[in-house]
Structure 1
Amino acid sequence: MLQFAANLSMLYQELDFLDRFKAAATDGFKAVEYLFPYDFKAVDIAERLNAHGLQQVLFNASPGNWTAGERGLACLLGREGEFCQSIDQALEYAVTLNCPRIHVMAGIQAEGHSYETLMELYVQRLRWACKLAAKKDVDILIEPINTRDMPGFFLHRQDRAHAVVVAVDMPNLKVQMDLYHCQVAEGDVAMKIRKYVPTGHVGHIQIAGSPARHEPDMGELHYPYLFQVLEELGYVGWIGCEYRPLRGAVPGGTSAGLQWLKPLV
């Protein structure tokens, strides 16, 4: 049976962040993920996880200055110190939250620097991060993100992400395969699932409807079929529900849009 995790950065926004854990558990989720936990103490988050019987399965390392448009530090020249600090910080949270995965965002490609130069830097930094994370039994994840939503994002194709995994050559580097981003950037999602899941490189999957990133049963992607493909391939990882609820805008909040999930949990 497939396993679904609530993304608390996007779901239950009608509630304060620390109240979203209870809501997710009430709706049947057994696990949660979110973007960044750093506005809260790790012990306070751990208390909510324990109180509601939830697993923390993923969060992101700091992306730099998000409000200024930064979307990761891993490929940014001259940001070595901040990158290292972001990994140290993320691992501290991961240990407290018993979280086995950290997503490290690549960043926006800087103008005036070649792809090859930035890729060399990216690979070096990921290798360093993986070595450090391995000591804590934590996986580092990289995610291709479509350039419609994040113009200029350095890593935006599945094939490039898997090539990075090969180049870094560390067993705890995995790909975070977001099927929404895959559809927007490339399409042919089912065949990409069939190609990449059997490699063992896919450490986490995320879903949303396309093209508007609402509930998975809305839009052009037929998730019942994609879920069938994942089950056929024996995928046993988590599937993060990282979408913007549309039906949740009506009374009942996010929970009102979870009809698609109920037959699956």
Structure 2
Amino acid sequence: MYTLAVCAEMVFLDLPIHERARRIHDLGFQVEIWDWTRHDLAALTGTGAVFSSMTGYVRGSLTDSDGAAELLRTAEESIKVAEQLGCLRLNLHGTGLDDKGLPVVPVTGPATGPMWIAAQRTLSRVAELGERAGITFTLENLNTAVNHPGVPFATAADTLALVAAVDRPGLRMNLDLYHAQIGEGNLIELVHRAHRLGLIGEIQVADVPGRCEPGTGEINYPAVARALTDLGYNGTVALEAWSSTDSDLALERFRSAFTPA
């Protein structure tokens, strides 16, 4: 059976982040955060929460030498923080994102052959860092139509191809079904394909449109949950969504959608 987690950055927004983490923990979920540099780490550690994922770099990109060096340097810093929090997964994107989720260095058009080669090389080095520390890095697919225009390797297909090309246990895919629905659709087949390859490190969910909890949009998440159960998926499913009205209700809707009947 999979484990349920909730991103503290998007719910209980009237509370400080450590109180959000404690609230999520008290409701029976693991906790996820984004940029650790913005938070009081001692306060987070004191919540007693189990942290399932956090952003695994501060700056950098996959495709140019300076950006790759910065990504690797800040990934090493992130590993130290993850060890402090007891967090075993660190999340990556194709390039650094600003506070609005936009790429610091956007790309136009599809990634070139040299960009693919550079990304694979950088991710191999990231995976090696993770393996030495006993931590898994995950590469997340994003959508470029609504939230993250200009991010390279954004689609689930591209992300999955990169993770498969690196083929190391220190790197897996963070399969975000919200982003995949906007960019590609056919979610259950996508889950089957990624699971068949053994490359899923985590699954993140939110509904479309609006990026709120399951049951507020077009995605049939109970059907996704049944597919995960049938596959024997035993990783993490994380709610990375805004609450449509009330955060407690959003978490209960999430739990209900991913509790097999």
Q: Same fold (TM over 0.5)?
A: yes
- Aligned partners of 2:107 and 2:151 also within 8 Å: no
Q: After alignment, is 218-227 or 106-115 more displaced?
A: 106-115
| In 1: Cα distance, 2:142 partner to 2:85 partner | 26
Q: Measure how far apart 1:96 and its partner are.
A: 1.0
| In 2: Cα distance, 1:81 partner to 1:200 partner | 28
Q: Measure how far apart 1:262 and its partner are.
A: 4.7
Q: Does the C-alpha gap of structure 1 residues 11 and 202 become closer, same or farther in structure 2, counting only changes over 3 Å? A: same
Q: Does the C-alpha gap of structure 1 residues 75 and 9 become closer, same or farther in structure 2, counting only changes over 3 Å? A: farther
| In 2: Cα distance, 1:114 partner to 1:176 partner | 20
Paired position in structure 2 for 1:197:
195
Q: What whole-Å deviation, never above 9, does each CA across 1:178-221 have from its counterpart, x for those lacking one? A: 11111000011111112211221001000001121111111100
Q: What whole-Å deviation, never above 9, does each CA across 1:227-256 have from its counterpart, x for those lacking one? A: 0000000010111100011112xxxxx113
Match of 1:140 among 137, 140, 145: 137
Paired position in structure 2 for 1:67:
none
| In 2: Cα distance, 1:88 partner to 1:196 partner | 27
Give the % identical residues: 23
Q: Secondary structure at the match of 1:79?
A: helix
Q: Tell me, which stretches of 5 or more residues in structure 2 are unaligned?
A: 96-102
Match of 2:171 among 170, 173, 177: 173
Q: Tell me, which stretches of 5 or more residues in structure 1 are unaligned?
A: 65-71, 249-253
Q: After alignment, is 3-12 or 110-119 more displaced?
A: 110-119
Q: Following superposition, which runs of at least 4 residues in structure 1 exceed 4 angstroms of deviation?
A: 111-114
Q: Measure how far apart 1:74 and its partner are.
A: 2.3
Q: Measure how far apart 1:56 and its partner are.
A: 0.9
| In 2: Cα distance, 1:262 partner to 1:118 partner | 40
Q: Measure how far apart 1:2 and its partner are.
A: 3.3
Paired position in structure 1 for 2:107:
110
Aligned length: 248
Q: Measure how far apart 1:43 and its partner are.
A: 3.5
Give me the TM-score of the superposition, normalised by structure 2.
0.88
Match of 1:59 among 49, 54, 58: 54
Q: Measure how far apart 1:21 and its partner are.
A: 1.6
| In 1: Cα distance, 2:110 partner to 2:186 partner | 31
